[in-house]
Every structure is written in structure tokens, then in C-alpha cells.
Amino acid sequence: MTPLLLRLRQNLEELREQPWHEYTVPGRWVGSTQPVRFANAPSYFLHQLDAVELVANRRPRAVWSATDITYNGLVRHITAYDHGKGAAEDGWRVTGSFLKLLSLLPYLRALGVSTLCLLPITEIGEVGRKGNVGSPYAVRHPFRIDPSLAETHVAMSVDDQCRCLIETCHLLGMKVIVEVVLRTAAIDSDMVLHHPEWFYWIDQARLEATGAPFSAPSFNDSELISIKERVTVKNFKNLPEPHEDYQALFDSPPHKIEHDEHGWKGIKAKGLVVRIPGAFADWPPDDPQPAWSDVTYLRLHDHSHYRYMAYNTVRMFERSLDVPQYRNHALWNTIAGIIPHSIRTLNIDGALIDMGHALPADLRQRVIHEARQQNQQLMLWEETFELTAASKVQGYDGVVGYMPFEAHAPERLRAFVRRVAQHNIPVSWYAAAETHNTPRAASRVGGRDFSAAVWTVLRTLPTGIPFVCAGFELGETTPINTGLGFTDSERENYPDKKLPLFSDVRLDWDTSNTVDVEMRAFEHRLRTSSWYAIASNDDVVVPIEVTDSNLVAFIRYTRASRRGIVVVANIGAEEINVGVNVPKNVHIALIEPNDTVKLHADNHVEIRLKPWSSKMCFCVMNRMPS
């Protein structure tokens, strides 16, 4: 145990002697099938620290591997749970905390998790909050951790409680990646007081005169066509601007700043009042989403003409604007220092950059360079919806956001398998059928069975980063956010109060679903195989051509070995019983005994799969393919 963890243990031992109520936790957290009651919260935390020590001292010690699983989620959401009325009255967190997540690590390690990828942990703004707890992307200050993530009875700062989590991960051979928000802030950001020039300001009286709330600028059809055509070919010179009445809403930054119930208020000459507007979806320019109430864009450039907030000033930067003399250099310095600060103070192992591709190219390069200067081994992941060489060239190690749009359609899954087979994957990708912004995999047709079937396919393809969005392992169907891939009616069904990104909405840790049990069994079978020990991202993938439109099948084998796997999945509602011919050059000699996959003469494979099911079986070839 580290000195910090020893201090935590000592504090918990002292707290345990005080008169607390019982503290109930889900059985899963402690290896049981039913909720378990502890004498009090400190007793539970100490019990889990003992479990951590047991795992950490086990030989051989767990070693981190890029092929292991990444677990992603909000700290306050992952371990939110009703621990009992008495525990809540005592003041222990009902929402998730760093200490509760630390206590969950033995469960996650048993699931095969080697990396925690945390959504933003920075302090959240209070003005305009969405839901009952607010969005983690409404960053009040990029260098402060949200105090609500600490257990208040533990005599340690929220920063130290966060460090306890990270140090415990390192003891278990796990890494920690934190998502950072670099181009937006809360509308009541603490930085406004000292740096009003870093923010956009609108004339309050002019806005009130319109009789409507602030919203994104509107463009007519011909303007939209021109904008999209120019952006497609990356022609950012003389981009169409918003109409003059929209531009007139904006004013220069004020020198006098006050604060009231609506947030920051700038006072200008003759008593003119200016306010910080909420942001809006910046692309495409006709996106129907309303302006956000709690988040605003940072003003990355200081140009007297481009005072307004629009697609050409916050993302597709006008070429005459994005030049050195107009850059808000002090703001750029601050942004470039956010990741290095977290490396120095928290010892994080990596960062996921929120919308990194929407930063100016020079700023993005600087952010990556300065982060790498602080830690050459740092993992950097990008949120993007494309899988191209550009991410690798820019310095990223992996991308999130691509696969969830492909994984639920078997024809697109087959196309992706072919792409992997052609070694046309320039950067590692999140092997997941969902993210915190998309529909849950278990909410799609096929439910949790679909989730399990697709998991097998994605988990066994090379170059992927096996990725679990918190709740996937429980068969969760409630989305965390309705940002991408939702219909208007689906968004109406999930207002802010029902979404974990904004409100205290909890995972069903007491569910009878056994997705996590099946995942553990699959991981054990995979990791104890002789093939897994030598598998690498350089493995050969051979797609198996199929006649059934719902079938996805491939062979994967190592270049220097006769060992490999055959993976088949039925992404459909009907049972499949079909024969397929494996490519002749593979020369399979043996497939492990399996009641759903049988090898016959001349490389003919018979496959029988129930609806929404998958199988992985190990195979041996009698000679290496030519």
C-alpha cells in the first residue's frame, strides 16, 4: 500500500468505530448474488481495501495489456446506489464517489478490465444546470475536481480521494484515462471574472427585444448548400457568415463583471448589460438541437469582426480568423496546460480529448505535444466519428465514436471485418456497440442477446480496444445521453431528468441479467488459451463469406503459429443452420469440439446458431496459408 492509501485506511479504521447505520451494497460488488449489508460504510470500504490487497499481492501480479478491457463511465453514475435510509442520513454518498469506485475495482478486474476511462471529473457549474446534478461538460474550472465526487466524512480532499483511486488502479496493474474538455466551459466558469475576453458576450437588451431565447444562427437553403460544400473540400476562406441581425447580438468583452442568479453579468458604458450565451451544436449548421443552458464555447480568437459564435468561429475556423495575431494566446496557454496539470497532480496514464478534432489545428498539435512532453508514454484517445490515418498522424493512439454506428448492422459488421482483413485500420478503435452518447446496445432489437453476440465479434478482432460503457455488463437499456443516433420521439422519452449525464439516474446493479457473468466466463476461456498468449494486432484475419445476411464470420490466426480462432455470430432473430466454405488457403485441420460449429471435409464448416447468438472456437491449421 502507498502512504496515501495507508492514510485512507487509518482514517477509515477511525471512522468505523463511530455509531453509523448499516450500509447495503449490491451483491455483485462483493462476489455475492444478493445485496449485502455491512455494519457501516467504513467497514465496507475497509473490506474492499482488503480485497484489493489480496488481488495486488497475488502472483503473478496482473499486468496491464492493451488487449484487455476498458471500462468507461461517470464516477457519480457508476456506483450510484441506495445504501439504505440510515446510510443516507449519515451523509454517505448515494451518488457515485471516488472511494466507491475504488471499492468496485476487484469486481472490474475480475471482469477483465485493465483501464478506467472516466468522463470529465472537473468541477461542474451551477447556473443553467441540466437535470438535478448538472452536466460534467459544464466545466466550472479545468484545474479543479468536482467536490461532489468525494465522501465528505473521509478526512481527505477530493483531490486526494481521486489520487487514492488512481494509486489503487496502479496497484492492480490498471491504467486511468480521464476525458478532458478543452473548447467549452460552464456559463458561470470561474475564469470569467479574470478573463472575460476568453468568452462570447451578447447584448441582453437586444436579445430580449427579439422575444425569443438565444439560439444558433439560421441559414437559408442556398447558404447551407454553400457552407457544406465548402467545408467538405476544406475551403475555409470567406465562409458564409450569419445574418447581420444575429451578429448584432454580440458585443465586445466587458471590463466590469458582476454575478447574480443568472450567472456572470458584464456592465459596459451607459449601463449596457451583456451576458454569456449558451452554446449549441456547431455542426451541421442546421442541427435542430436547442442551445445548451449550461455550457458555452470558449472564444479562442480575438477579432473585432468575429465577435459572434457560429460554425465558422468555433469549429470550421474562417481562414482569416485562425492566424497567430488573432489568437487568444493566454487562453491557448491555459488549454495546453490542462492535460500536463492532470499528469503532474493525479498521475493519470492518458487522456480522452472531447471533440479534439474541432480545435484549431495548431492548438490541437500543441495540446498533444505538451502532453507528450510531460509523459512520453501517455495514451491519447480522440473522440471522432471517422476511422482515418489523420488521427494517427495527429498523435492519437485510439479513437472513440466510430464502431457504435456500425455494430448493429450485420452487413456493416461484415464490411468492417473485411477492412480489418485488408489491414486498412490506421489507428486503434473502441470495440464497442455503444458509447455514452448513443443508444444502448441492449435497447436495440435482440436486447441483451444482441449485446453479447456483438461483443464476441468486436472483442476478438485485432486492433480494437475492447470497451465497456458502464452498464453494458448489466444489460442496461437507459442511455446516458441522447446525443447521437436518436429519433425525436426517443429524445422526448428521455428528458434530462431521466438521463444519467444530467441527473441522479442509477444503474440496476441488482438486475438478474447475467451479461457480466457471461463476459467473465468468456474472458477466462480466452485468456487461458495458448492462442491468446501469442495473439497480436498483426494477426491475420480471413473473412468467411456467408449466404445468410445476418451471419458474420471470420478466422483469425497468428502469423508465426498454426493456432487461431473461428468466430461466428448471428445478428438476427431467426435460427441459422447453414454450411459455409472456408477459403481454401486457410487449410483448417481442427476446430475444438463444438455443438454449433463443425468442420467437414474440404474446409466445409457447418454452423448452427440460435437467434442473437455467437460462438468463438479455437482452431489449428495443418499448414500455414500461403
> For the chain, how many structural domains are there in total?
4
User: In terms of domains, do 494 and 437 share one?
Assistant: yes
Q: Looking at the DSSP assignment, which residues form a beta bridge with residue 570?
A: 551, 613
Given 496, 528, 560, the domain boundary residue is 528
Cα–Cα distances in Å, from 326 out to 314, 320, 372?
Answer: 14, 9, 26
Backbone angles phi, psi at 359, to 5 degrees: -85, 155
Domain for residue 190, yes or no? no
pLDDT at 63 over 70: no
Give the model confidence (pLDDT) of 390-448 as tens digits: 899 999 999 987 888 889 999 999 999 999 999 999 999 999 999 999 999 999 999 99
Percent of the chain with pLDDT over 70: 98
For residue 139, give Cα distances in angstroms to 145, 173, 179, 253, 315: 10, 30, 12, 20, 19
| 121: in domain | yes
Sign of CA dihedral 346, 349, 354, 360: positive
Domain annotation covers residue 351: no
Question: Phi and psi at residue 299, in whole multiples of 5°?
Answer: -90, 90
Residues 549 and 488 in one domain: no
Q: Is residue 354 part of a domain?
A: no
Same domain, 86 and 116: yes
Please tell me the predicted confidence (pLDDT) of residue 1. Answer: 83
Average pLDDT, the chain: 92
User: Within this chain, do residues 127 and 245 fall inside the same structural domain, yes or no?
Assistant: no
Asked if residue 600 has pLDDT above 90, the reply is no
- The mean pLDDT value for 57-63 works out to 60
Residue 66 is predicted with a pLDDT of 62
Please, how many CA atoms are within 13 Å of residue 283, restricted to the half-sphere of its CB? 15
Residue type, position 8, single letter: L
User: Is the model's pLDDT at 225 over the cut of 90?
Assistant: yes
Check residue 421 and give its pLDDT.
95
Is 607 in a helix, a strand, or coil?
strand
pLDDT bin (cut points 50, 70, 90) of residue 624 is low
Q: What does the pLDDT average to over 593-605? A: 77
Q: 447: which residues sit within 8 A by CB, 6+ positions away?
A: 475, 477, 612
Q: Which position has the grid cell 446534478?
A: 133
Look up residue 290 and give its DSSP letter: P
Q: Classify residue 451: in a domain, yes or no.
A: yes
Confidence of residue 68 (pLDDT cuts 50, 70, 90): confident
The average pLDDT across 6-31 equals: 97
Q: Please say whether the beta carbons of 483 and 439 come within 8 A.
A: no
Looking at residue 504, its pLDDT comes to 96
472 within a domain of the structure (yes/no): yes
Q: Are residues 515 and 547 in the same domain?
A: no
Same domain for 13 and 33? yes
Q: DSSP string of 40-85?
A: SHHHHHHHHHHHHHHHHHSSSPP---TTSEEEEE-HHHHT-----H
Predicted confidence at residue 499, as pLDDT, reads: 96
Half-sphere exposure of 368 (CA within 13 A, CB side): 22
Q: How many C-beta atoms surround the C-beta of residue 5 within 10 A?
A: 18
Pick the residue with more confidence: 299 or 484?
A: 299
Same domain, 164 and 270: no
390 lies in the same domain as 315 = no
Residue after which a domain boundary falls, among 528, 550, 570? 528
Q: What number of CA atoms fall less than 13 Å from residue 115's CA on the CB side?
A: 27
pLDDT at position 139: 97
pLDDT at residue 465 greater than cutoff 80: yes
Round to whole Å and give the CA distance between 421 and 231. Answer: 32
Residue type, 28: R
Of 63-72, 259-268, 327-336, 341-350, which gets the smallest average pLDDT?
63-72
> Is 391:463 a contact under the CB 8 Å cutoff?
no
Encode pLDDT of 303-360 as tens digits.
999 999 999 999 999 999 999 999 999 999 999 999 999 999 999 999 999 988 899 9
**Cell numbers at residue 40, please?**
457501516
Q: Is the pLDDT of residue 626 over 60?
A: no
Closest CA to 107 of 474, 436, 458, 354: 474
pLDDT at 601: 76
Of the pLDDT bands very low, low, confident and very high (cuts 50, 70, 90), residue 65 is: low
User: Domain boundary at 275, 310, 325, which?
Assistant: 325
330, part of any domain = no
How far apart, in whole angstroms, are the C-alpha atoms of residue 192 and residue 256?
Answer: 11
Q: What is the CATH number of the domain that holds 610?
A: 2.60.40.1180
Residues 501 and 565 in one domain: no
Which is more confidently placed, 355 or 470?
470
Range of the structural domain that residue 156 is part of: 1-57+72-180
30 lies in the same domain as 154: yes
78 lies in the same domain as 114: yes
> Which residue has cell 457544406?
228
- What DSSP string runs through 409-464? -HHHHHHHHHHHHTT---SEEEE-S--TTS--GGGSTTHHHHHHHHHHHHHHSTTE
3-state secondary structure of 243: coil
Which stretch of 70-84, 131-145, 495-509, 536-550 has the lowest confidence by average pLDDT? Answer: 536-550
Same domain, 227 and 313: yes
Grid-cell match 449601463, residue found:
271
If you compute the radius of gyration of the chain from its CA atoms, what whole number of angstroms results? 26
Helices (H), 70-173: 75-78, 85-90, 98-110, 158-171
Q: What is the pLDDT of residue 599?
A: 81
Instruction: Work out the pLDDT band at 561, boundaries 50, 70, 90.
Output: confident
Q: CB–CB of 555/565 below 8 Å?
A: yes
Please state, as a whole number, how many other Cβ atoms lie within 10 Å of the Cβ of residue 388: 12
Write down the pLDDT at residue 560.
83
Amino acid at 162: C
- Summarised one tens digit per residue, pLDDT across range 80-97 is 999 999 999 999 999 999
Task: Indicate if the pLDDT at residue 452 is higher than 60.
Answer: yes
% of the chain beyond a pLDDT of 90: 80
248 pLDDT higher than 70? yes
Q: Are 39 and 2 in contact (CB under 8 A)?
A: no
Residue 475 reports pLDDT greater than 70? yes
What is the pLDDT confidence band of residue 625, given thresholds at 50, 70 and 90? low
Distance CA 427, CA 293 (A): 35
How far is 249 from 615, CA to CA, in rounded Å?
Answer: 59
Integer Cα distance of 277 and 397 in angstroms: 35
CA 218/CA 251 separation, integer angstroms: 19
Residue 356 maps to a domain: no
Confidence of residue 547 (pLDDT cuts 50, 70, 90): confident
